[in-house]
A and B are shown apart, each in its own frame.
Chain A
Amino acid sequence: MKSLAELDKLREKLQEEMRLREGKEDVKVVVTMGTCGIASGAREVLTAILEEIGKRGLKGITVTQTGCAGLCHCEPLVEVERPGRDKVTYGHVNEKKAREIVVSHLVNGQIIKEWTIK
């Protein structure tokens, strides 16, 4: 450790990996993973989201799963919840779309309207 700044940089990065245990509610990305979701590829979607967030070093995001939302024909579903804003639900997400959602919605704050379901 050469300097305090180096420690601070390292800590910031590591804190993200530990975020899950803090119970802080920031941005939440929920992948519905009932049988229907998993059958249509939700697992790959989830892994892609985790990878993409990790690669870009995005902060303050919790990725988690939930059960079937009742919209089985639209699976896999991805919900993005930001505190104080309406929940956005994307349908028919695949690996590629998932990565794009991370870039567009989570990084740039642009909702990809044509993929959302109402």
Chain B
Amino acid sequence: MELYRAHVLVCAGAGCISSGCQAVKSALEESIDRLGLKREVKVVETGCMGPCDLGPVIVVYPEGVFYRQLKPADAVEIAEEHLLKGRVVERLLYKAPEDGKTAVTSDQIDFFKKQTRIALRNTGIINPESVEEYIARDGYRALGKVLTSMTPEEVIECIKKSGLRGRGGAGFPTGLKWEFSAKAPGKPKYVVCNADEGDPGAFMDRSILEGDPHSVLEAMAICGYAIGANQGYVYVRAEYPLAVQRLSLAIEKAREYGLLGENIFGTGFSFDVEIRVGAGAFVCGEETALLASIEGRRGEPRPRPPFPAQEGLWGKPTVINNVETWANIPPIILKGPEWFASIGTEKSKGTKVFALAGKVNNTGLVEVPMGTTLREIIFDIGGGIPGGKQFKAAQTGGPSGGCIPARYLDVPVDYESLTQLGAIMGSGGLIIMDEDTCMVDLARFFLEFVQDESCGKCSPCRIGTKRMLEIVERITRGEGRDGDIELLEELGQGIKSSALCGLGQTAPNPVLSTIRHFREEYEAHIYHKKCPAGVCRALMVYAIDEEKCNGCGRCALVCPAKAISGEKKKPHRIDLEKCLRCGTCMEKCKFGAIYTI
């Protein structure tokens, strides 16, 4: 047994890696070595701890002291002060932005305090490259329990009773899906993990794979036992190299320990998992397209039914679940379905992981019980909007989702409530927007994304979203016409009801929901040729305040279009015919004399 007096956890999620945690870790290790503490202090790399904007972060145990935004020099100081002399380095502790209060340990920070971690129970706490640490945290015990003391029917009944629903977005009851596959004729059967996370700004699945890969493997094996499958596939995109690397290592280690492979726990049950790396097409997150891609065919969806549970991979019954759904399975088996069902709302049980992004103070990864309000997520956990700006809307579900305006901040978030508001739960991307975001421009962004990613198989999606994009682009250029809004609505409804797969059926959502909640912004663009948020360039008019302008000529000098003229020391003017609306003059004016209308 290797005991230490202190464990230092270094967050090595992709966010912290990009903010330089590797350099911090090596500085820390060098100092520990130099100070002769190697035998006393253990340095552990973990998956994402969640507060990505505070990275690189480390936590020192047994005290649980939380240090943030570290540079290599800070790590040296922590080694010399905290690890050698036992003095906490105050300077590097977290301070709450609202009241400047210092938090020593992570459980004193609101961001952590208000979370309930089930899917993320190990992420940021264990070393994802060590199966031993996973086992120490009850890893593979659920698989052991299932194989030695439960029948496949009991496993399915347990998942059904827990009320777990698919975390990929649609929210289909997981236990029911397993039951369909178990009862479907045809052999062999397959288990698939959908790790093709494609929504812009969403990174829940990546963080779980990077931080706790064994939880997914264990859950897939449990499902294999329940439905009678011996082979699993994880479909993960090539843009997630770290996730692929840690998952490969996890599979290797699990095989070494005999937790995957032949005759697991001496029960005669065999199960193995292979990775399939996708090329990063958004449509491959759609289950039928994903299955086609695993089979080596072009990643295009096909009509359902038949559903994959009946006819999936190579036409055989296949259970396909999302990464976060899988991560919930082992705790449900161990703690029982009643425990899981006691968390959340009436129809949505358990927790949901959200990737907080956009105009919010604490961007990062959070897990909250279903039914938590947006206000709690954005203001209590997320720490509110930076720069004292006003909250305008939250976008859930990425390109398939919609916007939720400020007046619905207190609605409890679950599958049903979001659908009612014209958004969807989606996989958990949560993009926060402040008053400076133009909703028409946002709709344009998502339409452009969908246009790029549409596979082109069915015409409503291929051509329909193209027409919608053209209309929205025209509106942002100031060429909107009377009737455009109605046309967008009609097209949107048409695409929704006629597109082949989930991508197309949900593609109009960003437009429809912004029209529903922010119609006046569309009208301002179309009828008044104005962009209230000041984002759409073509609609901006630059002007010079003659009282403030002292005629220094700086603006005229930098104007690329030579649109500004005037005598020296006298107020200048902007020729709107020539003006490109680039805004350079406004940036350069030292007197604040240039403004937009």
Residues of chain A having any CB pair with chain B under 8 Å: 1-4, 7-8, 10-11, 13-18, 20-21, 23, 33-34, 43, 46-47, 50-51, 53-55, 57, 62-67
Q: Contact: A21 with B40, CB < 8 Å?
A: no
Partner-A contacts on B (CB < 8 A): 1-7, 9, 36, 39-40, 61-62, 64, 85-87, 125-126, 132-133, 135-141, 144-145, 147-148, 257-259, 264-266
Q: Is the CB of B61 within 8 A of A21?
A: yes
Q: Are B144 and A4 neighbours in the complex by a CB distance under 8 Å?
A: yes
A67 touching B86, Cβ below 8 Å: yes
Q: Evaluate contact between B9 and A47: CB separation under 8 angstroms.
A: no
- Are B62 and A23 in contact, with the CB atoms below 8 A? yes
Residue in A closest to B44 when the chains form the complex, CB atoms: A21
Contacts of A11 in B (CB 8 A): 135-136, 138-139, 141
Q: Is the interface of B mostly helix, strand, loop or mixed?
A: loop
- Which residues from chain B contact A8 at a C-beta distance below 8 Å? 141
| A1, A50, A54: the one within 8 Å of B265 (CB) | A1
Residue in contact with A53 in the complex, picked from B3, B6, B257, B259, CB distance below 8 Å:
B3
In the complex, chain B residues whose CB is within 8 Å of the CB of A7: 135, 140-141, 144, 265
Query: How far does the alpha carbon of A31 sit from the alpha carbon of B65 in the complex, in Å?
Result: 19
Contact B258 A50 (CB under 8 A): no
Contacts of B258 in A (CB 8 A): 1-2
Q: A1-B258, A18-B136 are in contact. Are A67 and B87 (CB under 8 A)?
A: yes
User: What is the CA–CA distance of A78 and B527 in the complex, to the nearest angstrom?
Assistant: 80
What residues on B are CB-neighbors of A18 within 8 Å? 126, 133, 136-137
Asked whether, in the complex, the Cβ of B3 is within 8 Å of the Cβ of A3, the reply is: no
User: Given B9, B87, B141, B145, which contacts A21 in the complex, CB threshold below 8 Å?
Assistant: B9
Q: Which residues does chain B contribute within 8 Å of A53, judged by CB atoms?
A: 1, 3
- The chain A residue with its CB closest to the CB of B127 is A18
Nearest chain-A residue to B258 (Cβ)? A1
Note all chain B residues with C-beta closer than 8 A to A50.
3-5, 39-40
4 nearest interchain CB pairs? A14-B136, A1-B258, A4-B144, A54-B1
Q: Provided the pairs A11-B141, A57-B1 are in contact, do residues A1 and B133 lie with their beta carbons within 8 angstroms?
A: no
Q: A11-B138, A14-B132, A43-B40 are in contact. List 12 more A-B contacts (CB 8 A).
A: A1-B258, A1-B265, A2-B265, A4-B145, A4-B148, A13-B1, A33-B85, A34-B85, A47-B40, A53-B3, A55-B1, A67-B87
Selected contact of A63 from candidates B5, B64, B138, B140, CB within 8 Å: B5
Among A2, A64, A67, contact of B5 (Cβ-Cβ < 8 Å): A64
CB A9 to nearest CB in B, in angstroms, measures 11
Q: Tell me the smallest distance from the CB of B590 to a CB of chain A, in Å.
A: 54
Considering residues A21, A51, A53, which has the most beta carbons from chain B within 10 angstroms of its beta carbon? Answer: A21
Q: Are A67 and B7 in contact (CB under 8 A)?
A: no
Complex CA–CA separation, A21 to B4 (angstroms): 11
CB-defined contacts of A55 to chain B, threshold 8 Å: 1
Question: How far, in angstroms, from A13 to B135 measured CA to CA in the complex?
Answer: 10
By CB atoms of chain B within 10 A, which of A8, A10, A18, A65 has the most? A18
Asked whether A23 lies within 8 Å of B141 as measured between CB atoms, the reply is no
Q: List A contacts of B36 (CB < 8 A).
A: 43
B5 touches A14 (CB 8 A): no
Note all chain B residues with C-beta closer than 8 A to A16: 1, 3
In the assembled complex, how far is the CB of residue B112 from the closest CB belonging to chain A, in whole angstroms? 13
Cα(A51)–Cα(B5), bound, Å: 11
Chain B contacts for A46, CB-based, 8 A: 5, 40
Determine whether the beta carbon of B141 is less than 8 Å from that of A14. no
Chain B residues in 8 Å Cβ range of A2: 258, 265-266
Question: Contact check: which of B6, B39, B87, B139 meets A20 at CB < 8 Å?
Answer: B6
The answer to whether B135 and A14 have CB atoms under 8 Å apart is yes
Residue of A nearest to B1 (CB): A54
